[in-house]
Structures are given as structure tokens and as C-alpha cells.
Structure 1
Amino acid sequence: MACIVKAEILMVNLVPKVTRTDAIQSFVSQETPIVRLTDSDGQVGTGYSYTIGSGGPAVISLLRETLLPRLIGREAEEIEGIWRDLLFATHATAVGAITSLSLAAIDTALWDLRCIRAGLPLWRMAGGTKSSVPLYSTEGGWLHITAKDLVADALEMQKRGFIGSKIKIGKPTLAEDRARLKAVREAVGADYQILVDANQSFTLAEARRRADMLAEFDIGWFEEPMPADDVGAHVQLTAASPVPIAVGESMYSASQFKDYLAMGGCTIVQADVARVGGITPWLKIAHMAEAFNVAICPHFLMELHVSLTCAVPNAPMLEYIPQLDDITTSRLNIHDGFAMAPSAPGLGIAWDWDAITARALAGLSTTIE
């Protein structure tokens, strides 16, 4: 056992290398808060979270002023206790994105430190179910992309051995969405999975109409059809939909997933390790979903989620969206369309500290001892 003696914060902005649009927004910048924790034996664990263009300084402020000072002197192995204590310290701002993103940066650093101390990769430390997971791609399916380019990307991913592609929907008319999906299905054939994501853009009535259309093309799931806080509408849709309903990227606590699962509001959960507060609650959500015989297919963060999907038995695929290339020296290891679990101790992310230091935003770096 060793106590935490130092905490460091940095933040970098990562601009997406391709344009990312969906039915309600554009992904303009990935603000990436990074936390480094040093224990009394000199071991260092690194964690992180992200935003899609706003709120990053608020995350840094909560870390600097409220959360990280409470870590100094704590036993680093007491991850569950630390997570609970920090959640209580922010009870006036929880449940919500800023608090969960802040907790995640700390929690992932603690898990990295635990794994490094044990000499184990995260996927084994957290469960060790399998050493690889099939990939599906989202990066070629954004809403602004033409049907012709959607087809070209899906065919390329299929050639690389990916299990499927995700396509954004939410065009002004059902006919436009239908034409795009029809073009892709005719190109890739029956065995390649097509998934769709509406990014919370529909009413219940419109989601029902689109679900009927999606069934024509054997769509693998209908993701975020409506606002995430409307559990009742999702219950109604799930009961009537001919395609599976997926939710979770816009939920920020295990309890929200509990309500969806208990009420039958979805058939797939998509917990995002940063948005739910870290690895500690993510694993609880995954195991809770397993108890309901529901799959977990996490949102984004492939460099971290590859280990978590390999840790649990009910995670059938991983979303491919490169995120950290500009600030890491490691890359997702892909073989015949499968992502291989990292073998190095820790999260399996090799940070490029020269690149991070060069990109760190002035005034948002802090060291606490």
C-alpha cells in the first residue's frame, strides 16, 4: 500500500481530424483534462476525460479547487472509498456532466496506478474475459457525408474486417435517411452490421416512424432516438420498435442506467467511462446490464474502452473513432477487424509527454502536494 503524495492537472485541446456532425451538433474540439497521481513509492498513474468543445475549464476548476486536494495522503488502493468520498464532496453538483467528467479523470488515474503497481493490464485486472473485441466504425458515418462516401467508407471497413459501420440519421425527412441507409445496405450485403444514431433528435412519434423504416434494412440498433432524460418515452419505443434501442452516452450515473434497465427502456447500454465518472462506476453498469441480459457497447474513448470491453463478458463490440493520436505514442492494435487488448501494465495508453506539455493550455495546469 502507498499513499498519494502529488496530483498534477493539465489540459489540451485536440481538434478532430475529420468533420464530425450529427443531428444536433458539431464536434469542434476535444478538451482533454489529464490527471497524474504519484504515490509514496514513486509510481505514477495517469487518467483523463474529455468534452466536445465546452466545459473543460469548469472540469479543471472542480479538480483543482475541490477534488484533488482531498486525495493527498489517501491510500491509492482504496479506489471505491475515494470515489464515494469525492462524490459526496460534490453532492451539490451531482449528478451531472462536470462532476462525472472530473471524477473520471481521477478514477482512471487510480486504476492506472493500481494496474501498474500490480504489473497487470487493465483488461485483466478488471475481469479478464477476452483478449480482443470486434470493431465497428463511426468516423465515416457523420450526418453531412454523402451517400456515395458513406458507401465507400463502409466498403473499406468491411474489407478491413470490421463488424459494421454506424451512420448518423436525423435528416429533415425520413426519405433522406432511408436513401442513405438503402445505398449502404445494398453495397455491403446482408452480413455486415449497419447501426444508426439519431443523437436525441426525435420526438416519440417520429422515432416510431423511423424505427419502422430502419427495420427494412436490418439495422443493428437505433441509438439515442430521443432526449436521454425521457425514460418513459424510451420504454414505449422499446416495447414497439422492431429494431433494438441503444442509450447511454448522455447519462451520467449508474442509477440512470438502473432506471432504464428496470423499466425496459432499452436493449443495449452505451456507458461512456468518462461521462459516468470513471472505471469504478462503468464496471458496475456493465455488470448490472449483464444481470438484465443486456449488452454494453460503450461510446467513444476506444483507447480506454478496448480494455473495459475485454474485461466483461457482455461487451460484443467497440466503437472505432481515433481520439488520442496527437498526444500518445501507442495506437489501437487492430488485427483482422478486431481490437487487441493492450498487454502493458496500466490503461495501455503510452502518453507523449513532450506533445502534451507543448499543447497544455496556459493557466489550466496545476500541481498539488
Structure 2
Amino acid sequence: MTTITSAQAYLVDIDVETVRTDAVQAFLKQETVFVSITTSDGLTGVGYSYTIGTGGRSVLQMLRDHLVPRLEGQDSSKIEAIWMDLFASTRATTVGAITSLALAAVDTALWDLKCQRAAAPLWKVAGGFRRDVPLYDTEGGWLHLSQDELVSGAIASRDAGWGGAKLKVGKASHREDLERLLAVREAVGDRFDIMVDANQSMTAAEAIRRAHSFEPVDLFWFEEPLPATDISGHERLARATTIPIAVGESMYSIAQFREYLERGAASIIQVDAARVGGITPWIKVAHLAESFNVAVCPHFLMELHVSLVAAVPNGRYVEHIPQLRSITRNEMAIKDGHALAPDTPGLGIEWDPDAIDDRRVA
């Protein structure tokens, strides 16, 4: 038995690598919550979770007060059992963001241990469908950027061989959104995917109106047009437009994804391993989407998600937003417009302990 002998949780703040704005907020910093687990066979697994500016200390306290104390003495190979034990112990706060983010930090550490013990990379242990996955860019599409900057960013992504680029929408006038999208489409041609993201900023009526105006752009998807809690609004929107509707980054349980899929309210699933509670539920959501013949294109966390998208047959895209370079010694490999899942045992993220210690805040 690979008994857990010790575990600790700590918080690290990472500055954003570039200015990032959308229709509702700015990315202030990445509050990164780490969990380190050591086992009786001499291995140490490191897992992590994150917020984009607030709530990190709350996640950390949930871990320190309630989850980490339950780990010592457990068999680290029993990942499902540990996940369910921790989930059951916090039923008063589930399903919710704080608990799911805390669970994810533990779960990713356990998967790191599992892959190390198997002497295999995550993408193989989690399924092993393929190593390389298509890449799309978000860094050139933020809402504060000018139209010319959007165009130049999309052209750069196309010329690099990437499959697409995502642009933020939600300007005061739908006409301004449309002008910006049409300018990008004209510049990149019709063989390059353009995604748009409204970050939950619209009513159903406004989303339907903007979707109709966006249809000539031939968008690959319309992301988070409405609040994630408005399933009926997404259902109405999906029926009203030919543009695929993408959701998932603001959903925290498998059941939420099931309801969206059952009601035909989404046709792209953007499950985030941190926000859904870790790799264990992420894989379940991916297979659930596969049963509905729906693609998975996860939100953020490209350094982790590249391996998960590579693991499953319905993984379609990885989102390019680099954010860990200040605390890691390696970067996600990119070749011929595709991201390559790390081939080293574990999560494939080579942490820089000194850089992490320099940024610890709790």
C-alpha cells in the first residue's frame, strides 16, 4: 500500500503575463493553491488549483481545515475513494466553487503520484488517445485591444499554423463587436477558426440578437453568452442560432454538464479541471460529452489540459494562455500548430521550487 505519510497546502500569487480584460472583469493575478503529498514509497506528488484574483485564501483554508487533515494514512492509489471521502466530508459546501477548487488541488497531486508510480505521462495514464492536439490562441483577443491589434494577433496565430483564435465580445454596441469580428475574418480567410467569448455578460434576448448578427462571420463557437445558471436561456439560444454554444468554465459538477447536454443547451464542453474538482471528475465529464457526440475544449490551464485533451478521443482544442512560466522550468511544447502533451512521468509540469517559495503568500 502506498500510504500517505504527509500532506501540506500553500498559496502562491503569480502576476499575469499580459493585460487580460473581458466583458465583466480583468484578470488581476493567479492565486495558485498547491497541495504536496508524500507517500511511504518515497514519492511526492504536487497538485494545484487557482483563482483569478480573489478567493485563494478561502480555498487554502478549506484545504487546511477540512481536507488535508483527512489524507494522512490513506492509500494514495485509491483516488476515487479519497475523492468521494473528501467530497462527502464537505457536503455542507458542495456543489460550490471553493470546495471544487480545493478538491482539485488534492486530486491533481494524487494523479501526479499515480503517473509517477506507473512511470508514464498523464496523457497515457488518463487514456492515451494521441499526444498532439490542436491549439487556439486567446492572448490576442482581449476586449481592450483595438481592432487592428485583434487582426494582427489573429494573423500571427494563423501564420504560426494554429487552428484558431478567440476574441472577446461584449462591447456596448453589437455593431462594434460585429465590425471587429468581420475585420478579423477578412484578414485570416475562411479556413481559420474564430471563437468568441462573452463571459456570461448577456441576457438571453441580447445573446440571441448578437448571435444572429455574428452568423455571417462563421464562428466556431459562442462561449459563455449567459450566466452558467441560466440553462433554459442557453437552451433557447442554441435553438435560435447555427453557431455552436460553448460552456463549462463556470460549472462545478458533473451533474451540471449532464443537464446542459441532455437539454441540448451546449455543443462544446469547456470543462476546467480545477473548477470541476480535479482530473477524476474531468475525465468523467469528457466521457459524458463523448456519449453525446460533443467535443471537449477545456478552459485555461493549458499546461495541465494539454495532457487531458490528448487522453480522450473527443478532445478538440487546447486554449493557449501561458501563465505558469514564472514558476516552472519547462513550457508546453508546440509543433506545427499543435500542442504536445509532456512525455515525462507525472503531470509533466516541472515546478521551480525556488520561484514558488519567492511567491508564497500563505
Asked if these proteins are the same fold (TM beyond 0.5), I'd say yes
| Partner in structure 1 of residue 26 of structure 2 | 26
Matches within 5 A, 1:1-369: 1-361=1-361, 364=362
**How far did residue 337 of structure 1 move?**
1.0
Q: Which runs of 5+ in 1 are unaligned?
A: 365-369
AA at the equivalent of 1:31: E
Where 2:32 maps in the other structure, the secondary structure is strand
- In structure 1, how many angstroms separate the alpha carbons of the residues matched to 2:31 and 2:341? 26
2:196 partner SS: strand
Cα distance in structure 2, aligned partners of 1:214 and 1:182: 9
Q: What's the CA shift for 1:169?
A: 0.1
What amino acid sits opposite 1:161 in the alignment?
A: G
The structural deviation recorded for 1:73 is 0.3
Q: TM-score normalized by structure 1?
A: 0.97
Identify unmatched segments of 5+ residues in structure 2: none
Amino acid at match of 2:175: A
TM superposition shift of 1:336: 1.3
Q: CA deviation at 1:230?
A: 0.7
Partner Cα distance (1:55, 1:341) in 2: 30
Whole-Å Cα distance in 1 between the matches of residues 217 and 262 of structure 2?
29
Which SS does the other structure have where 1:74 is aligned? Answer: coil
Whether contact under 8 Å (2:223, 2:245) holds in the other structure is: yes
The superposition leaves residues 130-149 of structure 1 with CA deviations (integer Å, 9 ceiling, x where unpaired) of: 01001000011000000000
Deviation at 1:358, TM superposition (A): 1.4
Shift of residue 214, structure 1, vs aligned partner: 1.5
Cα distance in 2 for partners of 1:17, 1:272 equals 20
Secondary structure in structure 2 of the residue aligned to 1:154: helix
Counterpart-to-counterpart distance in 2, 1:295 and 1:240: 20
CA distance in 1, matches of 2:360, 2:18: 22
Distance 1:154 1:54 in 2: 31
Q: Name the CA distance, whole Å, in 1 between partners of 2:173 and 2:242.
A: 20
Aligned partners of 2:11, 2:325: CA distance in 1, in Å? 15
Q: State the one-letter code of the partner of 2:103.
A: L
What is the CA distance between 1:196 and its match in structure 2?
A: 0.2
- How many residues align? The count is 362
* Aligned mates of 1:355, 1:27 — CA distance in 2: 21
- 1:193-247 residue CA offsets vs partner (Å, 9 max, x unmatched): 0000000111111101111112111000000010100111111111111100000
Q: Which secondary structure does the structure 1 equivalent of 2:92 belong to?
A: coil
Cα distance between partner residues in 1 of 2:189 and 2:345: 40
Secondary structure, aligned partner of 2:214 = helix
Q: How far apart in 2 are the matches of 1:200 and 1:102?
A: 24
Secondary structure of the residue that 1:216 maps to in structure 2? helix
Partner amino acid for 1:116? Q
Q: Deviations over 1:267-323 (max 9, x none)?
A: 111000000000000000000000000111000000000000000000111100001
> How far apart in 1 are the matches of 2:290 and 2:266?
13
- Secondary structure in 2 aligned to 1:106? helix
C-alpha deviation, 1:11, in angstroms: 1.2
Q: Between the two proteins, what is the percent identity of the paired residues? A: 56
- Report if aligned partners of 2:17, 2:322 keep a CA contact under 8 Å in 1: no
